[in-house]
Structure 1
Amino acid sequence: MNVIDILARLIAFPSVVGTPNGAIADWIGDYCREAGAEVTVHPGPEGDRCNLFATIGPPEGRGYILSGHMDVVPAGEREWSSDPFVLRAAGDRLYGRGATDMKGFLACALAALPKLAAMNLRQPIHLAFSYDEEAGSRGVPHLIAALPTLCNAPLGAIIGEPSRMQAVRGHKGKAAVRLEVIGRSGHSSRPDLGLNAIHAMANLITEVAEYGRSLTSGPFHHDFAPPYSSLQVGVISGGQSVNIIPDRCTADIEVRAVPGISPSSLLEPVKARLMALRDQGFEVGWHELSAYPGLALPEDSGLAALLTGLTGQEPLAAVSYGTEAGLYQQAGIDSIICGPGDIARAHRPDEYIEIGELAACQTMIEKLGASLAEG
């Protein structure tokens, strides 16, 4: 199968984040075994989702990980020009949910696998495909924890998120939480007898937003845009009817931190403000939704030099979006981002990847294999 045929098969699996992914994992596993790879399916604690790990080449050696995620964001937007789970070709563009983020990279790795199998590799190449990355990288920590049982210490990990095939050495860390305020319900004609959770949350959010604005004063890391850490309130929910005092309100908040700043530490002032509402008679809840560390690969690292040779371009210092790379680095594995497509096309209707981008990525992976082959 060529890379386009493989991508069409992957797109056809509606592997939306937070849903069972056995079908796509089974297909990938069967394909890898037919190509000669050793495959391990690693179930997650959810029971209906799994990571997949495949090795081509001598398993006792130290090699490189090609990392990607099998899940995609939902595709419910009306603006899609065709079925998002049926690959559509138009000129050099291939349209479908996940074409860029990031089934394009998975397709390239799988398309390269038969050629890698024929190279008589001296060191292995591993495929590490995770689940629920789009929900805050929930699947890959379980895979990373299992790596000592799956392979010898890797030399590095290439995370194939869309980067227009230019390697990237850094990204911000992120943490997201849900704030919950619980008051006391009642008839809206007697606000003095209730505790309005929405009003309390509104005041809290005003304070939190002001705190978020203070982050623009630094510390700064000028490889990023914006060059400072940031905070956003993304979702608010509460209330039943205009004539009922709302007894519950929630707000989802995220922070993105520049290197050297812990994302969780940025949330501590938010937590303190939430807890202060208990003095006003409210109950409160603090629910962690997701978190991942930033990535900061040194400019003079061997992995950065390797990617320069494979792509013919010097790596970028940083991007503003996040990936699983920081988690690999946190586990002691040098990591870098490099994949086909453009992040600007992701998470939107008519997501697409270009045929030339797929070809360039497959070539990069095959060149990696050639650098590890005998002779």
Structure 2
Amino acid sequence: MVEDILAKLVAFPSVVGTPNAAIVGWIADYCRSHGARVEILPGPEGDRANLFATIGPADARGYVLSGHTDVVPASEAGWTADPFTLRAEGERLYGRGTTDMKGYLACALAALPGLARRDLKHPVHLAFSYDEEAGCRGVPHMIAELPKLCAAPLGVLVGEPSGLQAVLAHKGKAAARMEVFGRSGHSSRPDQGRNAIHAMAEVLSSAIAHARALEAGPFDTRFEPAYSSLQIGTISGGRALNVIPDHCVAEIELRAIAGQSPRALLEPVRAALEALKTQGFETRWDELSAYPALALSPESDLAALMTDLTKLTPQPAVSYGTEAGLFQDAGMDAIICGPGDIARAHRPDEFITRGELQACLALIEALGNRLAA
């Protein structure tokens, strides 16, 4: 059953940043057919929605199984078959999103009928978001609605691929697009124009210096690297070699260790951009994404529960980011634990194994057993 559900989910080309009514509608119908209470929560974009479903008593505290319906594009070279058709080869099931993270969604949905047949004393909630791959853009809107949807959760299990070993911490992230607007002209008369690339270079030099300063600490040895980091990811500008460029765009990202604010660490770069206005340039700063770090105590009840269910000591930290930090920032204990290997994500011929799906399904069923006891 779980493979059939995964095949259906993979067949929806729910690429990040695109409408997702088809996949959300199918999941909603499936959940309702098994007795779940379902809320579809449209986002401000108007063509995308989060989904929240509940099995069990509405007034009791329970656990949230959190995942995202979107996937990264599958346009990269190297796919040996249609990425949106599930393909089985032995133990491996290939397709875009199999590991990140429709495999987890399929396990949660496959477990739902069994959960519905149990006399749960505490509910299980499914929280499926959109545009996670664009920097967790969808889930904040769902988190804002949670007080109306359920009692305060006992914990949130974010099913990003971790080999079903729980993860206690991850870095936070903030990303921004910077634009500089100058004045065009012939390159032989630079005195009559304002070179936007030259101006952006000043900002980027400041950003590079800031990145080097971050390498001096503070440190958190749970992470690799152990310090907060900044990188310039893209830059573009100019139309021809003999034309003074009147526009330049650059994108930067900041990944912060726990205890540091990603947005705050980007402020020196934003200040450098703003300073260009004193030279006659116009500037623009657009935040692309931002989410806080996750730092769950190894002594927490949620960490103890996951240690017991997985029979594995939780991994202290990973350097990639998830929605877990946003749930924690909203006052809920959150942990990462999902099937598959993050190294397979965002790559051609992404796959998950049948064994990994069955192990995840067993984990969710074991959680259900606890909640029915």
Deviation at 1:277, TM superposition (A): 1.4
Deviation at 1:190, TM superposition (A): 2.0
TM-score (norm 1): 0.98
Q: Which residue of 2 aligns with 1:154?
A: 153
SS at match of 1:141: helix
Letter in 2 for 1:129: F
Q: Deviations over 1:39-85 (max 9, x none)?
A: 11011111100000000111111100000000001110121111110
- Distance in 1 (CA, whole Å) between partners of 2:347 and 2:243 is 37
Counterparts of residues 8-157 of structure 1 (less than 5 Å):
8-157=7-156
SS at match of 1:186: coil
Letter in 2 for 1:105: Y
- Distance in 1 (CA, whole Å) between partners of 2:202 and 2:348 is 36
Shift >3 Å, 4+ stretches: none
SS at match of 1:181: strand
Q: Deviations over 1:169-227 (max 9, x none)?
A: 10011101111111101122322211111122123212211210111110000000000
Deviation at 1:364, TM superposition (A): 0.4
- Distance in 1 (CA, whole Å) between partners of 2:180 and 2:266 is 17
- Paired residues, number: 373
- Distance in 2 (CA, whole Å) between partners of 1:274 and 1:52 is 39
Letter in 2 for 1:274: L
Counterparts of residues 244-263 of structure 1 (less than 5 Å):
244-263=243-262
Q: Which residue of 1 aligns with 2:241?
A: 242
Letter in 1 for 2:247: R
- Distance in 1 (CA, whole Å) between partners of 2:237 and 2:23 is 37
Q: Which residue of 1 aligns with 2:336?
A: 337
Q: Deviations over 1:259-310 (max 9, x none)?
A: 1111111111111211221222211111111100000000100000000111
RMSD: 0.9
- Distance in 1 (CA, whole Å) between partners of 2:210 and 2:39 is 46
Q: Which residue of 2 aligns with 1:189?
A: 188
Q: Which residue of 1 aligns with 2:306?
A: 307
- Distance in 1 (CA, whole Å) between partners of 2:168 and 2:17 is 29
- Distance in 2 (CA, whole Å) between partners of 1:40 and 1:292 is 24
Which residues of structure 2 form unaligned runs of 5+? none
SS at match of 2:105: helix
Q: Deviations over 1:212-258 (max 9, x none)?
A: 01111100000000000000111112122223211011111110111
Deviation at 1:134, TM superposition (A): 0.6
- Distance in 1 (CA, whole Å) between partners of 2:325 and 2:368 is 24
- Distance in 2 (CA, whole Å) between partners of 1:148 and 1:272 is 37
Letter in 1 for 2:104: F
- Distance in 1 (CA, whole Å) between partners of 2:202 and 2:270 is 14
- Distance in 2 (CA, whole Å) between partners of 1:189 and 1:79 is 46
TM-score (norm 2): 0.98
SS at match of 1:145: helix
- Distance in 2 (CA, whole Å) between partners of 1:90 and 1:191 is 62
The percent identity for this pair of structures is 67
Letter in 1 for 2:18: T
SS at match of 1:217: coil
- Distance in 2 (CA, whole Å) between partners of 1:209 and 1:356 is 45
- Distance in 1 (CA, whole Å) between partners of 2:30 and 2:300 is 34
- The yes-or-no answer on 1:293 pairing with 2:308 is no
- The yes-or-no answer on 1:201 pairing with 2:204 is no
- Distance in 1 (CA, whole Å) between partners of 2:237 and 2:34 is 52
Deviation at 1:36, TM superposition (A): 1.2
SS at match of 1:218: coil
- The yes-or-no answer on 1:319 pairing with 2:304 is no
- Distance in 2 (CA, whole Å) between partners of 1:202 and 1:96 is 41
Q: Which residue of 1 aligns with 2:370?
A: 371
SS at match of 2:145: helix
Letter in 2 for 1:62: R
- Distance in 2 (CA, whole Å) between partners of 1:191 and 1:269 is 29
- Distance in 1 (CA, whole Å) between partners of 2:212 and 2:100 is 31
- Distance in 1 (CA, whole Å) between partners of 2:153 and 2:146 is 9
Q: Deviations over 1:307-330 (max 9, x none)?
A: 011111011111000000001001
